[in-house]
Protein backbone atom coordinates (compact mmCIF):
# COMPACT_ATOMS: atom_id res chain seq x y z
CA UNK A 1 0.00 0.00 0.00
CA UNK A 2 1.47 3.34 -1.11
CA UNK A 3 1.07 6.35 1.16
CA UNK A 4 -1.18 9.09 -0.27
CA UNK A 5 -1.83 12.68 0.89
CA UNK A 6 -4.29 13.06 3.74
CA UNK A 7 -6.30 16.02 2.44
CA UNK A 8 -8.98 15.70 -0.21
CA UNK A 9 -7.82 18.78 -2.17
CA UNK A 10 -4.30 17.32 -2.43
CA UNK A 11 -5.73 14.02 -3.65
CA UNK A 12 -7.85 15.74 -6.28
CA UNK A 13 -4.87 17.74 -7.54
CA UNK A 14 -2.92 14.52 -8.06
CA UNK A 15 -5.91 12.84 -9.70
CA UNK A 16 -5.92 15.66 -12.25
CA UNK A 17 -2.47 14.51 -13.37
CA UNK A 18 -2.27 12.32 -16.48
CA UNK A 19 0.52 9.79 -15.96
CA UNK A 20 0.63 8.80 -19.63
CA UNK A 21 1.00 12.38 -20.90
CA UNK A 22 2.90 13.45 -17.77
CA UNK A 23 0.97 16.68 -17.39
CA UNK A 24 -2.02 18.17 -15.64
CA UNK A 25 -5.30 17.53 -17.45
CA UNK A 26 -7.05 20.40 -15.68
CA UNK A 27 -5.64 23.74 -14.66
CA UNK A 28 -6.59 27.34 -13.99
CA UNK A 29 -10.04 28.17 -12.73
CA UNK A 30 -11.59 24.77 -13.48
CA UNK A 31 -9.02 22.94 -11.39
CA UNK A 32 -9.51 25.60 -8.73
CA UNK A 33 -13.23 24.90 -8.62
CA UNK A 34 -12.53 21.20 -8.06
CA UNK A 35 -10.04 21.96 -5.30
CA UNK A 36 -12.36 24.42 -3.56
CA UNK A 37 -15.12 21.85 -3.85
CA UNK A 38 -12.80 19.26 -2.35
CA UNK A 39 -11.97 21.50 0.60
CA UNK A 40 -15.66 22.18 1.22
CA UNK A 41 -16.46 18.47 0.91
CA UNK A 42 -13.74 17.53 3.39
CA UNK A 43 -15.11 20.00 5.92
CA UNK A 44 -18.67 18.77 5.33
CA UNK A 45 -17.75 15.10 5.71
CA UNK A 46 -15.85 15.86 8.93
CA UNK A 47 -18.78 17.85 10.35
CA UNK A 48 -16.92 21.15 10.42
CA UNK A 49 -19.42 22.50 7.91
CA UNK A 50 -23.14 21.82 7.86
CA UNK A 51 -25.90 22.84 5.48
CA UNK A 52 -28.77 25.12 6.39
CA UNK A 53 -31.31 26.27 3.78
CA UNK A 54 -28.99 25.31 0.95
CA UNK A 55 -26.03 27.21 2.38
CA UNK A 56 -22.92 26.12 4.29
CA UNK A 57 -22.71 27.09 7.96
CA UNK A 58 -20.03 26.33 10.58
CA UNK A 59 -20.45 23.00 12.32
CA UNK A 60 -18.26 21.24 14.88
CA UNK A 61 -15.12 23.27 15.71
CA UNK A 62 -11.88 21.81 14.38
CA UNK A 63 -9.00 22.36 12.00
CA UNK A 64 -9.56 24.81 9.16
CA UNK A 65 -6.46 24.33 6.98
CA UNK A 66 -7.65 26.48 4.07
CA UNK A 67 -9.48 29.08 6.13
CA UNK A 68 -12.86 28.27 4.58
CA UNK A 69 -14.79 27.95 7.82
CA UNK A 70 -13.44 31.32 8.93
CA UNK A 71 -14.50 32.90 5.62
CA UNK A 72 -17.98 31.41 5.84
CA UNK A 73 -18.34 32.45 9.48
CA UNK A 74 -17.44 36.05 8.64
CA UNK A 75 -19.81 36.28 5.68
CA UNK A 76 -23.54 36.62 5.27
CA UNK A 77 -25.16 33.34 4.17
CA UNK A 78 -24.18 32.48 0.62
CA UNK A 79 -24.79 29.37 -1.53
CA UNK A 80 -22.22 26.64 -1.98
CA UNK A 81 -21.35 27.66 -5.51
CA UNK A 82 -20.25 31.09 -4.26
CA UNK A 83 -17.58 29.44 -2.12
CA UNK A 84 -16.56 27.10 -4.94
CA UNK A 85 -15.95 30.07 -7.23
CA UNK A 86 -14.28 32.35 -4.68
CA UNK A 87 -10.46 32.44 -4.82
CA UNK A 88 -10.43 29.37 -7.09
CA UNK A 89 -7.18 30.23 -8.84
CA UNK A 90 -5.35 30.87 -5.59
CA UNK A 91 -6.55 27.46 -4.38
CA UNK A 92 -4.51 25.86 -7.17
CA UNK A 93 -1.35 27.60 -5.98
CA UNK A 94 -2.05 26.76 -2.35
CA UNK A 95 -2.55 23.05 -2.95
CA UNK A 96 0.31 22.86 -5.44
CA UNK A 97 2.68 24.47 -2.93
CA UNK A 98 1.42 22.10 -0.22
CA UNK A 99 2.23 19.10 -2.41
CA UNK A 100 5.60 20.48 -3.42
CA UNK A 101 6.61 21.07 0.20
CA UNK A 102 5.50 17.54 1.05
CA UNK A 103 7.67 16.08 -1.70
CA UNK A 104 4.73 14.71 -3.72
CA UNK A 105 5.42 16.77 -6.85
CA UNK A 106 8.21 18.71 -8.53
CA UNK A 107 7.44 22.12 -10.04
CA UNK A 108 9.73 23.69 -12.62
CA UNK A 109 9.38 26.99 -14.42
CA UNK A 110 9.68 27.12 -18.21
CA UNK A 111 8.76 29.40 -21.11
CA UNK A 112 6.35 28.56 -23.89
CA UNK A 113 7.76 29.59 -27.28
CA UNK A 114 10.59 31.11 -25.31
CA UNK A 115 8.34 33.95 -24.19
CA UNK A 116 5.44 33.04 -21.93
CA UNK A 117 6.13 31.80 -18.40
CA UNK A 118 4.57 28.46 -17.48
CA UNK A 119 5.02 25.74 -14.89
CA UNK A 120 5.76 22.10 -15.45
CA UNK A 121 4.43 19.75 -12.76
CA UNK A 122 5.87 16.26 -12.33
CA UNK A 123 4.59 13.66 -9.86
CA UNK A 124 7.58 12.21 -8.04
CA UNK A 125 6.05 8.76 -7.45
CA UNK A 126 3.51 7.64 -10.09
CA UNK A 127 2.33 4.89 -7.73
CA UNK A 128 0.59 7.56 -5.63
CA UNK A 129 -1.61 8.60 -8.54
CA UNK A 130 -2.26 4.95 -9.40
CA UNK A 131 -3.29 4.29 -5.79
CA UNK A 132 -5.72 7.22 -5.81
CA UNK A 133 -7.09 6.23 -9.20
CA UNK A 134 -7.57 2.67 -7.97
CA UNK A 135 -9.61 3.91 -5.01
CA UNK A 136 -11.81 6.01 -7.28
CA UNK A 137 -12.21 3.16 -9.74
CA UNK A 138 -13.19 0.78 -6.95
CA UNK A 139 -15.76 3.28 -5.67
CA UNK A 140 -17.24 3.51 -9.14
CA UNK A 141 -17.50 -0.20 -9.81
CA UNK A 142 -17.21 -2.10 -6.54
CA UNK A 143 -19.01 -2.47 -3.25
CA UNK A 144 -22.35 -0.90 -2.25
CA UNK A 145 -22.20 2.89 -2.02
CA UNK A 146 -22.77 2.86 1.74
CA UNK A 147 -19.56 0.84 2.21
CA UNK A 148 -17.31 2.93 -0.05
CA UNK A 149 -14.53 4.96 1.60
CA UNK A 150 -15.88 8.50 1.95
CA UNK A 151 -12.87 10.15 0.28
CA UNK A 152 -12.97 7.69 -2.64
CA UNK A 153 -16.69 8.42 -3.08
CA UNK A 154 -15.98 12.15 -2.96
CA UNK A 155 -13.14 11.76 -5.47
CA UNK A 156 -15.54 10.25 -8.00
CA UNK A 157 -18.20 12.90 -7.32
CA UNK A 158 -15.71 15.76 -7.70
CA UNK A 159 -14.01 14.24 -10.74
CA UNK A 160 -17.39 13.91 -12.46
CA UNK A 161 -18.43 17.44 -11.49
CA UNK A 162 -15.12 18.89 -12.63
CA UNK A 163 -15.00 16.73 -15.76
CA UNK A 164 -11.54 15.38 -14.94
CA UNK A 165 -10.79 13.20 -17.95
CA UNK A 166 -7.83 11.64 -16.16
CA UNK A 167 -10.33 9.95 -13.82
CA UNK A 168 -13.61 9.89 -15.73
CA UNK A 169 -13.56 10.35 -19.50
CA UNK A 170 -16.88 11.41 -20.99
CA UNK A 171 -18.00 7.87 -21.97
CA UNK A 172 -17.29 6.64 -18.43
CA UNK A 173 -19.33 9.48 -16.91
CA UNK A 174 -22.26 8.58 -19.11
CA UNK A 175 -21.92 4.83 -18.53
CA UNK A 176 -21.86 5.16 -14.75
CA UNK A 177 -24.26 8.09 -14.45
CA UNK A 178 -26.47 6.44 -11.84
CA UNK A 179 -23.58 5.27 -9.67
CA UNK A 180 -21.97 8.70 -9.84
CA UNK A 181 -25.24 10.28 -8.72
CA UNK A 182 -25.34 7.93 -5.71
CA UNK A 183 -21.73 8.71 -4.76
CA UNK A 184 -22.40 12.43 -5.20
CA UNK A 185 -25.44 12.28 -2.93
CA UNK A 186 -23.31 10.63 -0.28
CA UNK A 187 -20.53 13.22 -0.57
CA UNK A 188 -22.56 16.34 0.16
CA UNK A 189 -23.54 19.56 -1.61
CA UNK A 190 -20.14 20.86 -2.76
CA UNK A 191 -19.69 18.58 -5.79
CA UNK A 192 -23.03 19.62 -7.37
CA UNK A 193 -21.97 23.21 -6.75
CA UNK A 194 -18.75 22.58 -8.71
CA UNK A 195 -20.81 21.23 -11.60
CA UNK A 196 -23.10 24.26 -11.46
CA UNK A 197 -20.18 26.71 -11.59
CA UNK A 198 -18.60 24.93 -14.58
CA UNK A 199 -21.90 24.78 -16.48
CA UNK A 200 -22.45 28.47 -15.78
CA UNK A 201 -18.96 29.32 -16.98
CA UNK A 202 -19.44 27.29 -20.15
CA UNK A 203 -22.78 28.97 -20.87
CA UNK A 204 -21.23 32.42 -20.38
CA UNK A 205 -18.39 31.57 -22.77
CA UNK A 206 -20.85 30.27 -25.38
CA UNK A 207 -22.95 33.40 -25.05
CA UNK A 208 -19.87 35.58 -25.42
CA UNK A 209 -18.75 33.68 -28.52
CA UNK A 210 -22.23 33.95 -30.05
CA UNK A 211 -22.29 37.68 -29.33
CA UNK A 212 -18.87 38.18 -30.88
CA UNK A 213 -19.90 36.30 -34.00
CA UNK A 214 -23.16 38.18 -34.52
pLDDT in tens, 187-196: 999 999 999 9
What does the pLDDT average to over 15-20?
A: 93
The pLDDT value recorded for residue 97 is 95
Report the pLDDT value the prediction gives residue 214, as an integer from 0 to 100. 61
pLDDT band at 112 (very low <50, low <70, confident <90, very high): low
pLDDT digits (tens, 9 = 90+) for 44-74: 999 999 999 999 999 999 999 999 999 999 9
How many C-beta neighbours within 10 Å does residue 104 have?
20
Could you give the count of Cα atoms lying within 13 Å of 159 in the half-sphere of its Cβ? Answer: 35
Residue 210 has pLDDT above 70, yes or no: no
pLDDT at site 203? 85
Kindly state the average pLDDT of the residues 164-180. Answer: 90
Residues 6+ apart with CB under 8 A from 175: none
Please state, in angstroms and rounded to a whole number, the distance separating the CA atoms of residues 51 and 126: 37
Position 204 scores a pLDDT of 81
44's CB contacts (< 8 A; 6+ apart) are 50, 51, 56, 188, 189, 190
Per DSSP, the three-state class of 143 is coil
CA distances from 72 to 41, 52, 112, 121 (A): 14, 13, 39, 31
Amino acid sequence: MVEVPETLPARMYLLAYDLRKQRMTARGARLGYVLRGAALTELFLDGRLEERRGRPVPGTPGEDPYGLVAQISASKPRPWHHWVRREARSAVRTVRDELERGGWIRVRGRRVLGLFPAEEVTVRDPRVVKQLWGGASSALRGRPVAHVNSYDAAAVALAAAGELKSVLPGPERRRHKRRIAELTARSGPAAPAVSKVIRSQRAAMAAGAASAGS
